[in-house]
Amino acid sequence: MGQGFEAAISQYMSLEQQIATLRRLRYYARYSLYRVLYLVGRGLIPAQSIGSYISDVAGKMMETPQARDLFSWIAGLVYTYSLKELAVRYAIHALGRHAAAPQDVLAFLVNTAKIDPDYAKALVNAYAIQYYPTVPQLATLAAYTCRLRSSTSARFCSSTVSRRRWLWSGASTSTRVRTTHT
């Protein structure tokens, strides 16, 4: 009984050691998988190489083919999410700085970034800041744009701002703002 028992215990302890080694290996490989997914999300791993990285990590984890497929699917989601997130950041930045027209940003989000049209429209409406030039900005614009000068005079003559009527007059090289009390 002593020889058989010792052999069984030795075999059992060997299996326990292999299981503990596999658990540690999977723990470290899981960390590596998270790092690979982070690098995928940051765009530091090219889209063509994602499959090989995931396959290498899953192979070291001794995972099943189903787990490899799951990891590849998750990596694809992370990559797609990151691309769309960058497109949304661009849209917010462009709209906030008036670097692009709202309709152009909407077309970019829907056609290029493949973002849901309802979400894209809501995003553009939320971040498209209306631009209202101030009176000094209009005066500067009117000095350089003849068409604007002729249309702004009529606009300001018809509106009152804090009980003052703004009248425009001036030579072709400069514009003066005159106020009259009504």
Q: What is the pLDDT of residues 88-122, one digit of tens each?
A: 999 999 998 888 899 999 999 999 999 999 999 99
Predicted pLDDT of residue 59: 86
φ and ψ at 164, to 5 degrees?
Answer: -125, 145
User: Using CA atoms, how far apart are residues 140 and 149, in angstroms rounded to an integer?
Assistant: 10
What's the domain range around 104? 2-127
Domain count, the chain: 2
Predicted pLDDT of residue 164: 44
In a shared domain, residues 81 and 170: no
Residues forming a β-bridge with 167: 178
User: What confidence category does residue 167 fall into, taking pLDDT thresholds of 50, 70 and 90?
Assistant: very low
In a shared domain, residues 162 and 80: no
148, 132 in Cβ contact below 8 A?
Answer: no
In a shared domain, residues 122 and 156: no
- Pick from 107, 127, 147: which residue ends a domain? 127
Residue 51 has pLDDT above 50, yes or no: yes
In a shared domain, residues 22 and 84: yes
Lowest mean pLDDT among 25-34, 85-94, 108-117, 129-138: 129-138
User: What confidence category does residue 157 fall into, taking pLDDT thresholds of 50, 70 and 90?
Assistant: low
In a shared domain, residues 82 and 117: yes
In a shared domain, residues 151 and 122: no
